[in-house]
Amino acid sequence: MMKVSCLYLMLGLSTIVAQTTILRLPLFHGIFYDLLIPLVVFLSLNPPKRKGVLVVMILGLIMDLLSGGIFGIYLSVYFWIFLLVKSLSRYFDVGDTIFQSVLIGVCVLGQHLMFCISVADPWNGAQLLAAQTGPVLLQTIFAALTGPGILMLLGRLQTRFQTRSSGAQREMGSL
Amino acid sequence: MFSKRLARILCVILFALISIVLLSISAKHPHRYTIVDRVVMAGIVPFQEGVTRTMHFCVRMWDQYFYLVAVREECDRLKGMLAKAQMEKSRYLESELACQRLRKLLEMKSEVPHRMLPARVVGLDPSGWFKTVFVNRGTRDGVSKGMAVIASGGIVGRIIGASHRYAKVLLIIDRSSAIDALVQRTRSRGIVEGVTSESCRFKYIVRKADIKIEDTVISSGLDGLFPKGLRVGAISEISRPSSGLFQEVKVRPFVDFTRLEEVLIILE
């Protein structure tokens, strides 16, 4: 389980590096949403759940350190997404693609809403919101379209990693 | 015995005569086209044609194969050369553009009487809501919190955190950024605050202040962060509400923050 946590941590760090460099280029027209959200959703839905929280907290902390926003905003957003998805998984079929699509879209929208609240003031807030409406909608739609695919990829990655790890453990045991 | 021998001689002579007669007849009609000719031709020539065509096809294929191999080799070689040339061209173009940018920075450096350190932008803020960048200079280079950062266009922002090798810069377009500034032409003072990527808000400009669109806004130097006289932006919008003490003014920054690559950190 420790290895799986490390894998997600590495994956998260790679994503952070990508989305603070390549994915923020004007070439992409701000279409890329926070790609850590599908990872947080996945960690919330799949084991290791307790260690998953730790991974989510570490990633949130790193994002807060890199971001120019209020310290702790990413940490809070990721933590609440983690809890929300975990709670919803009790009542809904989390394997359903449409549900996953809506869920990730809502999470991305929620994150933007949190950011908006954190930066808003009576004068700046309206202008900033007007400037951000287009990118926010674009990112939400893109998240809803690509989110289930990312979750599926993460699921496959975890299965493969666990199969390989258990195989290696069996070999070690036989030796 | 004798009669047999005589018979053979007679046969030879007869054959010779027949041959001569037939050749004579044939010589008299040199291009006679008989039915036999036709039959033979109809039976044999198609095969000849087939064999000849196949042979020619093979010869042509053989020749062209070798020819094409040679052409292909030549083509690959030329493609390689073209790719190399394009890459070199791109590199030269990139060097030229970098040279232009650095020349502008150098001009800026000579204009500002302060010790400055060039830095490269290496990372951007993960969210579109907050406007910060990372530069490849840190405390080991003498960078510390609060230092002003400028580019060839004007003020970029200020350092809000520095590690050993890197520093985080808060851009002037971030909503938490503020610069004490004045209108260059009329010396009207106010505070420039970030709003969106394209514009800043110029606050506290009194209603009677004489300002116009495209007036240049510069730093006043009174905030203790930015030296006096650094270019901030140009006034892009002015509105005077029916009530209130101040005008609502928008400033378009001179720096293009979407294309920020090299900056100068003012060390003093």
In a domain, A172, yes or no: no
Residue B116 has a pLDDT of 85
- Dihedral, A104, A150, A116, A83 alpha carbons, nearest 10: 60
In a domain, A12, yes or no: yes
**CA-angle at B137, arms to B136 and B139, nearest 5°:** 140
Helices and strands counted in chain A (H then E): 6, 0
Average pLDDT along chain A, 175 residues, taken 10 residues at a time: 80 86 76 91 80 87 83 87 87 84 92 82 66 87 92 88 74 65
Residue B181 has a pLDDT of 92
Of A16, A124, A135, the CB nearest to B126: A16
Q: Which residues of B165-197 are buried (b: 16+ CB within 10 A; e: fewer)?
A: ebbbbbbbbbbbbbbbbbbeeeebbbbbbbbbb
DSSP string, A108-137: HHHHHHHHHHHH--TTHHHHHHHHHHHHHH
DSSP SS3 for B159 = strand
Dist. CA B240–CA B242, nearest whole Å: 7
**CA-angle at B113, arms to B107 and B119, nearest 5°:** 60
> CA distances (Å), B68 to each of B23, B64, B65, in order?
53, 6, 5
Q: How far is A86 from chain B (nearest CA, A)?
A: 25
DSSP SS3 for A83 = helix
Q: List all residues 6 or more positions away from A60 whose beta carbon is below 8 Å from its beta carbon.
A: A74, A75, A76, A77, A78, A79
Of A21, A116, A118, the CB nearest to B123: A21
Q: How far is A165 from chain B (nearest CA, A)?
A: 33
DSSP SS3 for B223 = coil
In a domain, A174, yes or no: no
Dist. CA B48–CA A91, nearest whole Å: 84
In a domain, A35, yes or no: yes
Out of A14-18, A96-100, B113-117, B132-136, pick the least confident.
Answer: B113-117
Is residue B252 within 8 Å of B238, Cβ to Cβ?
Answer: no
Q: How many CB atoms lie under 10 A from the CB of residue B94?
A: 10
Residue B175 has a pLDDT of 84
Look at A128 and B196 and tell me if their CB atoms are within 8 Å.
Answer: yes
B-chain CB neighbours of A131 within 8 Å are 195-198
Residue A91 has a pLDDT of 85
A-chain CB neighbours of B134 within 8 Å are 20, 66
Dist. CA A156–CA A149, nearest whole Å: 11
Dihedral-angle region of residue A169 (phi above 0 means left; psi in -120 to 50 means alpha; beta otherwise): alpha
In a domain, A97, yes or no: yes
Residue type, B130: F
Is residue B150 within 8 Å of B264, Cβ to Cβ?
Answer: yes
Look at B125 and A116 and tell me if their CB atoms are within 8 Å.
Answer: no
Look at B126 and A24 and tell me if their CB atoms are within 8 Å.
Answer: yes
Look at A19 and B126 and tell me if their CB atoms are within 8 Å.
Answer: yes
Q: Which residue is it, tokens 């070999």?
A: A171
pLDDT beyond 80 at B145: yes
Number of domains in chain A: 1
pLDDT exceeding 90 applies to what percent of chain B? 13
Of A67, A116, A132, the CB nearest to B126: A67
Tell me the per-residue pLDDT of B66-84, one tens digit each, with 9 for 90 and over: 778 888 888 888 888 888 8
Consecutive H or E run containing B151:
none
The size of the A-B interface in CB pairs under 8 A is 69
pTM of the model: 0.69
In a domain, A7, yes or no: yes
* Window A:63-92, CB contacts with B under 8 Å: 63, 66-69
Pairing relation of β-strands B167-171 and B116-124?
Answer: unpaired
In a domain, A175, yes or no: no
Residue B251 has a pLDDT of 92
The overall longest dimension of chain A from CA atoms, in Å, is: 70
Residue A172 has a pLDDT of 65
Dist. CA B119–CA A84, nearest whole Å: 42
DSSP string, A9-62: HHHHHHHHHHHTTGGGSGGGTT----THHHHHHHHHHSS-HHHHHHHHHHHHHH
Of A30, A34, A119, the CB nearest to B126: A34
Residue type, B210: D
Q: How many CB atoms lie under 10 A from the CB of residue A79?
A: 16
* Residue B244 backbone phi and psi in degrees, to 5: 105, 165
User: Mean pLDDT of all residues in chain B?
Assistant: 84
Interface test mutation site (partner A, options B125, B129, B201, max chain A beta carbons within 10 A)? B129
pLDDT beyond 90 at B176: no
Q: How far is A124 from chain B (nearest CA, A)?
A: 6
Is residue B233 within 8 Å of B256, Cβ to Cβ?
Answer: no
Can you give the residue range of the structural domain that contains A60? 2-165
Q: Is B151 exposed, middle or buried (0-12, 13-18, 19+ CB in 10 A)?
A: buried
Tell me the per-residue pLDDT of B203-259, one tens digit each, with 9 for 90 and over: 898 888 888 898 999 998 888 888 888 889 999 989 888 787 888 899 999 988 888
In a domain, A170, yes or no: no
Cis amide linkage into residue A48, ω under 30° from 0: yes
Residue A122 has a pLDDT of 56
Give the torsion sign (CA, B250, B251, B257, B263).
negative
Nearest to A33 by CA among A15, A60, A13: A15
pLDDT beyond 70 at B2: no
Q: pLDDT band at residue B152, thresholds of 50, 70 and 90?
A: confident
Interface test mutation site (partner B, options A124, A129, A136, max chain B beta carbons within 10 A)? A124
